[in-house]
Amino acid sequence: MLTKTEQAILEDRTIFQKKVIPVTTYNGNILKSAQNNTKLGKGKGIITKGPWSGFPLFTFTLEERKTCPRSCHHYGDCYGNNMFRANRYKNDENLIPRLRDEIASMDAMYKGFVIRLHVLGDFYSVEYVQFWSQMLEKHSGLHIYGYTARYFDNIGEEIRKNLAPHNRVSIRFSVDSTNLERLDPNIFTPDLLATDESVSNIPFVVCPEQTEQTESCLTCGLCFNKNFRKAVKFLNH
């Protein structure tokens, strides 16, 4: 008899299937203020440090495993396994139009704003990566940051070549230590790497929020500062 977690891994999905919400059944915004997140905002929503200081921060959440590569080194112990309250927005045909509308509304409202991709989940297709590139072209206020376990597949290639280099994007690649030497030296710059495995052979800092050196991501900003050319190491997952 498999556990709930083992069954979810086997079926490449979240444990909490009732928390996968089709956007057509959800009336609120699917881009959420960081103030709702206990690490990113802790009750506040405006970035106060780094080049994006003054911008509001929003988060976006997809279904873990369903949208992730099986090669992710946290495929089994994904922290989504403990996030039974979080809504995951279903990546069906209605998702992109809804994102398009919400991004357009935000761009009309703010001079600059930041979306954290993805609290759970990952870039799930080349077309989805290209969607974000198109949004950046269309909306000058849009800024993006996040982490991805995509690197070696065609989705990772699209991110590396056409999304990560954009000056309003900061994507960090999450790879385990056994794969570090496989990275393309042209893209393997510390500002594009995040890992919670051994990173002792490259320059890194431990996430200051986890060591209580800063209140939240809003008051830190390292992950979305492209001038910060070190890896970020996370103490726990």
**In the complex, which residues of this chain contact ligand SF4 (CB under 6 A)?**
207-209, 214, 217, 220-223, 232
Q: Which is nearer to ligand SF4, 86 or 95 (CB)?
A: 86
| Dist. CA 132–CA 164, nearest whole Å | 11
Task: Yes or no: say if 116 and 145 are a contact pair by the CB < 8 Å rule.
Answer: yes
Q: Which is nearer to ligand SF4, 21 or 46 (CB)?
A: 46
- The secondary structure element, H or E, covering residue 204 is strand 204-206
**Among 217, 179, 224, CA closest to 43:** 217
Beta carbons within 10 angstroms of residue 151's beta carbon: 23
Instruction: Tell the smallest beta-carbon distance from residue 3 to ligand SF4 (Å).
Output: 30
Q: Which is nearer to ligand SF4, 20 or 231 (CB)?
A: 231
Q: Which residue has the tokens 């959800």?
A: 26
Q: How far is CA 217 from the centre of its chain?
A: 13
Instruction: Tell the smallest beta-carbon distance from residue 237 to ligand SF4 (Å).
Output: 12
Q: What is the DSSP letter of 56?
A: B
Instruction: Tell the smallest beta-carbon distance from residue 98 to ligand SF4 (Å).
Output: 27
Q: Which is nearer to ligand SF4, 44 or 98 (CB)?
A: 44
Instruction: Tell the smallest beta-carbon distance from residue 55 to ligand SF4 (Å).
Output: 13
